[in-house]
Amino acid sequence: MSFRVAALALLTVRCCWPAPAQDLDTAWTRTYGGARDDVFFSMCRADPWGFVLAGVSNSYSPGDVDFWMMKVDCTGAPLWNTTRGGRAWDSCFVVRPTRDSGFVMAGSTRSYGGGSADFWIVKTTAAGDSEWSATFGGLGNQRCYGVTQTADDGYLLVGDYYPFLSDQSILYLVKVNPSGGLQWTASYQDTVNVYGRDVVATDLGYLAAGGRIAQVGEVMQLVPMVVVTTPTGLPVEEWSYRALWPAIFTSVQATRDSAYLLTTTVPNYTHGESGEWKESILVKASHQGVPLWTSPCGVRFDDEIFAAIETADSGALAVGSRRDSGAVHTAVFITRVNRNGDTLWTKTIGGPYDMQARAVVRGADGSYMVAGWVAAPGQGYDAWLAKLDSVRPDGIGPSSPLPAALKLAVHPNPFNARAEIIYDLPRAQRVSLRIYDTLGRELAVLADGFQSAGSHRASFDGSTLSSGLLFCRLQSDAGFTTQKLILLK
* Domains of the chain and any CATH numbers: 11-388 (2.130.10.10), 407-487 (2.60.40.2550)
268 by DSSP, 3-state: which? Answer: strand
Across residues 481-485, what is the average pLDDT? 83
CB-based contacts of 288, cutoff 8 Å, min separation 6: none
pLDDT in the model for residue 478: 62
**More confident position, 35 or 159:** 159
Q: pLDDT exceeding 90 applies to what percent of the chain?
A: 53
Residue 35 has pLDDT above 80, yes or no: yes
The answer to whether residues 120 and 142 touch, using CB atoms and an 8 Å cutoff, is no
As beta bridge partners, residue 147 has: 157
Q: How far is CA 246 from the centre of its chain?
A: 15
Alpha carbon separation from 322 to 135, 300, 376 (Å, rounded): 35, 10, 16
Across residues 417-440, what is the average pLDDT? 83
pLDDT (tens digit per residue) in 236-263:
999 989 888 889 999 999 999 999 999 9
pLDDT (tens digit per residue) in 382-416:
999 999 876 655 554 333 332 345 688 898 989 98
pLDDT in the model for residue 359: 97
The answer to whether residues 358 and 371 touch, using CB atoms and an 8 Å cutoff, is yes
Tell me the longest C-alpha to C-alpha distance in the chain.
71
Question: b/e string for 291-307 if b means 16 or more Cβ within 10 A?
Answer: bbbbbbbbbbbbbbbbb
CA angle (477, 410, 343) in 5-degree steps: 50
pLDDT in the model for residue 153: 95
pLDDT (tens digit per residue) in 96-105:
999 999 999 9
Phi and psi torsions of 95, nearest 5°: -135, 140
Mean pLDDT of the chain: 85
pLDDT in the model for residue 479: 66
The answer to whether residues 199 and 173 touch, using CB atoms and an 8 Å cutoff, is yes
Rounded Cα gap, residues 150 and 176, in angstroms: 9
**More confident position, 61 or 359:** 359
Rounded Cα gap, residues 76 and 54, in angstroms: 14
Residue 412: CB atoms within 10 A of its CB come to 12
Residue 170 has pLDDT above 80, yes or no: yes
Confidence grade of residue 71 (pLDDT, cut at 50, 70, 90): very high
Taking Cα atoms as reference points, which of 358, 343, 357, 300 lies closest to residue 324? 300
Sign of CA dihedral 461, 465, 467, 469: negative
Across residues 168-190, what is the average pLDDT? 94
DSSP 404: P
Across residues 365-390, what is the average pLDDT? 85
Count, residues in the chain? 489
Confidence grade of residue 292 (pLDDT, cut at 50, 70, 90): very high
Rounded Cα gap, residues 157 and 403, in angstroms: 39
Across residues 272-291, what is the average pLDDT? 82
* Host H or E run for residue 133: strand 130-136
